[in-house]
């Protein structure tokens, strides 16, 4: 879903900005093979996340039922059978100690990972754009005040604040919402800085000056003249925020303060698996591999969108990249460059 | 330059003051019984009341904040049931789990964190700048594509994934290295390095990627410049262009980024420290969070913020020293 949304937004952005146009964007995106592969992987992961209940039902399992008969109580709960108990009933085996179905837990874990990261990214972007626009358009004092607040937010490390806030807030607040909220409220400074800088430079352009002279208000100028031009840098930045947020959620859950059991999460599985890797290596390798593949695919996709959206990078990179003309394009494929 | 320095550090000071307000607001004014949270789950109502008294929680918020700030700059006294405890400046409060002063607690944890950062820093600079250099030098060839893919992979690997895999491979399967166990440098330098090898490598691998990209990007930018084209036309060798001209242009942003990263890591190496059991600032934070030790959490957040603000200011100044145009803008 995130991918569809991004692409949709990106498409809208480019149609709104006549300078780049919709088709060059798609063309530039399509010519990057690595990006296409990444997009397919992300789409698959999104499908797994959305269809988790359906997939678990097809498998005939659910993420919370204990299967004590599938683990060896003599060895302290090592799954019976090879590769962590992989079988026709349990596609990825079972969890050590409890015997819960690993595939169902991984699929439901995808929901948590992607869902929390998506919500967090949306919050970051909304707050960042709002603050950045207000700072860029407001008078001297508004700009000063908002810029100083942004400086303070830059100094607050997300992980540290999240750890602290998770201590104070009572357990009755659902953790996924809380984690997304904290990331969103603390991590918007980067976007806001970019938006402010862009707004300041756009403000002096003729079309914005013309809009102001014809009596438009700040909100109208922001919506009609600035936002379309801001779409490219904002999308570029936010597609890279998304994988970073996935890592933050996984890290918090890995440390044992994020998503609480019985809700499954990849980070939490990794931290449980820490003590089991000798007896049940698949229990560790599966969430580790999934986490890596997800973040990697999203990063590659993000870089691809960035290359496709930033005509400057696309056109500049070949100049001086190489004296050999043929080599340039292949080198550029996966690289956002500059 | 002096005016620039003054303005930059004045700004940093303001951010720090604002940071204390924000942190204070988040942790002390947040809903919930602060005395109960700070005291820990096992405290009796009488103990909670006593603590509430000791922390001056009955006072208005601004008075509490004034005491908090006073503690940082001038020290403060805590009068409890067992007599008065003096907490000298900079006083960040008293841990209610261990009855220790937060400032001392954090100072005791800094050497381990610094050990981790120093080694990792050397490794990631070599790795990052080296990768960037190599991909510029071999640009347009398969090497560059492989390096680009590796850089993206490095960016996408969470430190706890790579760390876990390294532990499994080198400590468990191959048994080449001992399971990491922190040994202070002053006790045995060889053991210190040997035990910190895996944490250094893990942290370096995930931190190097931005340096590789930045080195590559700014070197390519310089190589595309007109003056480099002129040099090339005059017959200056490609090696000299890359090493003497392009690399110099890349140094300023790299130094600025390094200052920021190091500052962040003084509080942000939470994951590496927890995974490898390094008794540093980050692991202290996780423990404080788990035992709901509020004064320690607040202290650590503030100290981390301090390092980040400091690093930001230092990065700006270094950047300005390397590139005079920054001062003018």
B183 conformational bin, left if phi > 0, alpha if psi -120 to 50, beta if neither: beta
Reported ipTM? 0.80
Residue appearing with tokens 């918020």: B61
Q: CA nearest A296: which of A8, A74, A39, A4?
A: A39
Contact B267 A154 (CB under 8 A): no
Residue B81: its pLDDT value, please?
55
pLDDT of residue A321: 33
Q: 3-class DSSP state for residue B30? A: coil
- The answer to whether the CB atoms of B292 and A303 lie below 8 A apart is no
Element (H, E) at B76: strand B76-80
pLDDT of residue A126: 94
Residue A132 CB neighbour total at 10 angstroms: 28
HEC sequence for chain A: CHHHHHHHHHHHHHHHCCCCCHHHHHHHHHCCHHHHHHHHHHHHHHHHHHCHHHHHHHHCCCCCCCCHHHEEHHHCCEECCCCCCCCCCCCCCECCCCCCEHHHHHHHHHHHHHHHHHHHHHHHHHHHHHHHHHHHHCCHHHHHHHHHHHHHHHHCCHHHHHHHHHHHCCCCCCHHHHHHHHHHHHCCHHHHHHHHHHHHHHHCCHHHHHHHHCCCCHHHHHHHHHHHHHHHHHHHHHHHHHHHHHHHHHHHHHCCCCCCCCCCCHHHHHHHHCCCCCCCHHHHHHHHHHHHHHHHHHHHHHHHHHHHHCHHHHHHCCCCCCCCHHHHHHHHCCCCCC
Q: Closest chain A residue to B264 measured between Cα atoms?
A: A157
Rounded to whole angstroms, the Cα distance separating B56 from B72 reads 16
- The tens place of each residue's pLDDT in chain A, 338 residues long, gives 333 333 333 434 433 444 445 567 777 777 777 788 888 999 999 998 888 788 777 777 777 777 777 667 666 667 766 666 667 676 777 777 777 777 888 888 888 889 999 999 999 999 999 999 899 888 888 888 898 888 888 777 788 778 878 777 777 788 889 899 999 988 898 899 889 988 888 888 888 888 878 878 777 887 777 888 888 888 888 888 899 899 889 988 888 888 887 788 888 888 887 777 777 777 888 888 889 999 999 988 888 888 787 655 543 333 333 333 333 333 333 333 33
Q: How far apart are CA A232 and CA A328, in angstroms?
A: 24
Contact B161 A300 (CB under 8 A): no
Question: Alpha-carbon distance B222 to A332, whole Å?
Answer: 17
Burial per residue of A73-91, b for 16 or more beta-carbon CB atoms within 10 angstroms, e otherwise = eeeebbbbeeebbbeeebb
Per-residue tokens: A240: 């890279």
Hey, is the C-beta of A159 within 8 angstroms of any chain B C-beta? yes
Nearest to A197 by CA among A130, A132, A151: A132
Three-class SS of residue B108? helix
For residue B274, which residues of chain A lie inside 8 Å, CB to CB?
A: 255
CB < 8 Å to A254, chain B: 160, 271
* A270 contact residues in B (CB cutoff 8 A): 160-161, 164
> Is A303 close to B165, i.e. CB distance below 8 A?
no
Q: Is the dihedral of CA A137, A141, A144, A146 positive or negative?
A: negative
Does the beta carbon of B74 lie under 8 angstroms from any beta carbon of chain A? no
C-alpha closest to that of A268 among A44, A129, A109, A43: A109
* B84 SS3 class: strand
What's chain B's length in residues?
329
| Contact flag A303-B223 (C-beta cutoff 8 Å) | no
**Chain-chain contact of A337 with B220 (C-beta, under 8 angstroms):** yes
- Which of B158, B228, B229 is opposite residue A251, by nearest beta carbon? B158
Task: Give the gap in angstroms from C-alpha B86 to the nearest C-alpha of chain A.
Answer: 26
CB distance from B36 to chain A under 8 Å? Answer: no
Range of the domain at A107: 2-337
| Alpha-carbon dihedral angle through residues B226, B231, B233, B239, given to the nearest 10 degrees | -120
The CATH class that applies to domain B105-328 reads mainly alpha
Nearest-CA distance A154 → chain B (Å): 8
> Hey, is the C-beta of B154 within 8 angstroms of any chain A C-beta?
no
User: Is A155 near chain B, with CB under 8 Å?
Assistant: yes
Q: Which of residues 301-330 of A touch B (CB under 8 A)?
A: 303, 316-317, 319-322, 324, 326-328, 330
Q: How far off is chain A from B245, nearest CA to CA, in Å?
A: 14
Residue contact B297–A321, C-beta within 8 A: no
- Residue among B24, B8, B15, B316 at smallest CA distance from A153: B15
Give the orientation angle of helix A140-155 with respect to helix B2-28, to 10 degrees: 70
Task: Tally C-beta pairs within 8 A across A and B.
Answer: 164
CA distances from A53 to A48, A61, A293 (A): 9, 9, 22
What is the pLDDT tens value at each position of chain B, 329 positions in all? 677 778 878 878 887 788 778 777 777 666 566 677 666 667 777 877 777 777 677 777 788 788 888 888 877 777 655 566 777 777 787 776 667 788 888 888 888 888 899 899 999 999 998 988 888 888 778 888 888 888 888 888 888 888 888 888 888 778 787 777 787 877 888 888 888 888 999 999 888 888 888 888 888 877 887 888 888 888 888 778 877 777 777 777 788 788 878 887 876 588 888 888 888 888 888 888 777 777 788 788 788 888 888 887 887 777 777 666 665 55
* B160 touching chain A per CB within 8 A: yes
Interface test with B, best of A301, A335, A337 (most B CBs within 10 A): A335
The domain spans of chain B are: 31-88, 105-328
| Distance, CA of B158 to CA of A288 (rounded, Å) | 9
B72 in A contact zone (CB under 8 Å):
no
Report the distance separating Cα B68 and Cα B318, nearest Å: 33
Residues B46-96: pLDDT tens digits?
Answer: 877 777 777 677 777 788 788 888 888 877 777 655 566 777 777 787 776
Taking CB atoms and an 8 Å limit, are B286 and A161 in contact across chains?
no
The CATH number of the domain where A291 resides is what? 1.10.3720.10
Stated pTM of the model: 0.81
Instruction: Please tell me if residue B29 touches chain A, with a CB cutoff of 8 Å.
Output: no
Q: Does A40 contact B at CB distance below 8 Å?
A: no
Contact B265, A160 (CB under 8 A): no
Task: Report A:48-107 residues touching B (Cβ under 8 A).
Answer: none
Strands B83-87 and A78-79: unpaired
Q: Minimal Cα distance from A156: which residue of B?
A: B305
pLDDT value of residue A324: 37
Residues 6+ positions from A55 with CB-CB distance below 8 Å: A48, A103, A104, A107
Q: Are A164 and B27 in contact (CB under 8 A)?
A: yes
Taking an 8 Å cut-off on Cβ atoms, the answer to whether B30 and A338 are in contact is no
How much is the mean pLDDT over chain B? Answer: 80
Q: Is A230 exposed, middle or buried (0-12, 13-18, 19+ CB in 10 A)?
A: buried
Percent of chain B whose predicted confidence (pLDDT) is above 90: 2
- Which tokens hold the place of A164? 């602290």
The DSSP symbol for B327 reads H
Distance separating alpha carbons of residues A181 and A172, to the nearest angstrom: 15
Q: Do A156 and B305 touch (CB under 8 A)?
A: yes
Contact A195, A170 (CB under 8 A): no
What phi and psi, each to the nearest 5 degrees, are found at residue B79?
-105, 110
Of A300, A276, A303, A302, which is closest to residue A288 (Cα–Cα)?
A276
Number of structural domains in chain A: 1
Specify the pLDDT at position A116.
92
8 Å CB contact between A328 and A321: yes
- CB contacts, 8 Å: A163 with chain B: 270, 285-286, 289, 297
- Residue whose pair of structure tokens reads 């599966």 in the numeric block: A286
Question: The tokens 């400074």 sit on which residue?
Answer: A189
**Which residue of A33, A160, A270 is the best one to mutate when testing the B interface, meaning the one whose CB has the most B CBs within 10 A?**
A160
Phi/psi of residue B83, nearest 5 degrees: 105, -175
């Amino acid at each position: 879903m995130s991918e569809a949304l991004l692409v949709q937004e990106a498409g809208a952005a480019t149609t709104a900005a006549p300078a780049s146009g919709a088709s060059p964007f798609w063309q530039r995106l399509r010519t990057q093979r690595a990006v296409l592969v990444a997009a397919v992987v992300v789409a698959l992961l999104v499908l797994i996340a959305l269809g988790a209940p359906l997939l678990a039902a097809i498998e005939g399992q659910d993420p919370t039922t204990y299967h004590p008969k599938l683990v060896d109580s003599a060895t302290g709960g090592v799954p019976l059978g090879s590769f962590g108990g992989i079988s026709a009933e349990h596609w990825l085996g079972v969890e050590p100690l409890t015997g819960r179905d690993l595939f169902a837990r991984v699929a439901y874990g995808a929901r948590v990972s992607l869902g929390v990261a998506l919500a967090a990214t949306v919050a970051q972007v909304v707050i960042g754009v709002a603050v950045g626009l207000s700072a860029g358009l407001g008078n001297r004092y508004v700009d000063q005040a908002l810029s100083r607040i942004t400086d303070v937010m830059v100094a607050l490390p997300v992980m540290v604040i999240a750890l602290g806030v998770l201590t104070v807030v009572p357990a009755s607040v659902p953790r996924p919402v809380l984690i997304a909220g904290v990331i969103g409220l603390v991590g918007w400074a980067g976007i806001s800085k970019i938006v402010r800088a862009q707004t300041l430079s756009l403000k002096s352009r003729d079309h914005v000056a013309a809009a102001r002279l014809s009596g438009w208000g700040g909100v109208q100028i922001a919506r009609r003249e600035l936002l379309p031009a801001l779409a490219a840098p904002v999308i570029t930045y936010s597609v890279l925020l998304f994988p970073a947020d996935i890592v933050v959620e996984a890290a918090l859950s890995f440390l044992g303060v994020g998503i609480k059991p019985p809700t499954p999460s990849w980070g939490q599985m990794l931290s449980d698996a820490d003590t089991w890797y000798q007896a049940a290596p698949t229990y560790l390798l599966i969430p580790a591999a999934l986490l890596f593949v997800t973040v990697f695919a999203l990063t590659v996709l993000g870089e691809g969108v960035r290359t496709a959206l930033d005509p400057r990078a696309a056109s500049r990179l070949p100049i001086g990249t190489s004296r050999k003309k043929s080599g340039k394009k292949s080198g550029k494929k996966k690289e956002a460059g500059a | 330059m002096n005016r620039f320095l003054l303005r930059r550090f004045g700004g940093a000071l303001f951010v720090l003051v604002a940071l204390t307000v924000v942190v204070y607001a988040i942790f002390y004014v947040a809903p919930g019984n602060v005395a109960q949270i700070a005291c820990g789950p096992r405290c009796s109502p009488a103990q909670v009341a006593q603590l509430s008294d000791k922390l001056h929680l009955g006072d208005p918020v601004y008075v509490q904040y004034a005491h908090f700030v006073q503690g940082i700059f001038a020290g403060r006294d805590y009068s409890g049931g067992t007599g008065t405890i003096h907490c000298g400046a900079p006083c960040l409060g008293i841990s209610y789990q261990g009855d220790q002063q937060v400032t001392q607690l954090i100072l005791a944890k800094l050497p381990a964190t610094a050990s981790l950062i120093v080694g990792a820093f050397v490794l990631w600079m070599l790795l990052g700048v080296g990768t960037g250099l190599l991909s510029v030098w071999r640009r347009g060839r398969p090497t560059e594509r492989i390096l680009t893919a590796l850089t993206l992979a490095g960016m996408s690997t969470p430190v706890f994934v790579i760390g876990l895999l390294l532990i499994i491979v080198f400590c468990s399967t191959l048994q080449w290295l001992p399971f990491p166990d922190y040994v202070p440098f002053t006790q045995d330098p060889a053991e210190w390095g040997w035990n910190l090898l895996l944490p250094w490598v893990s942290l370096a691998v995930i931190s190097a990627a931005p340096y590789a990209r930045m080195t590559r990007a700014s070197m390519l930018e310089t190589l595309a410049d007109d003056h480099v084209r002129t040099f090339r036309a005059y017959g200056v060798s490609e090696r000299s262009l890359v090493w003497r001209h392009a690399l110099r242009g890349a140094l300023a942003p790299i130094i600025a980024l390094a200052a920021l990263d190091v500052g962040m890591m003084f509080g942000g190496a939470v994951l590496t420290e927890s995974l490898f059991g390094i008794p540093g600032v980050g692991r202290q934070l996780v423990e404080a969070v788990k035992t709901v030790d509020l004064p320690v959490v607040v202290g650590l957040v503030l100290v981390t913020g301090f390092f980040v603000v400091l690093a930001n200011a230092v990065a700006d100044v270094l950047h300005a020293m390397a590139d005079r145009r920054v001062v003018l803008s």
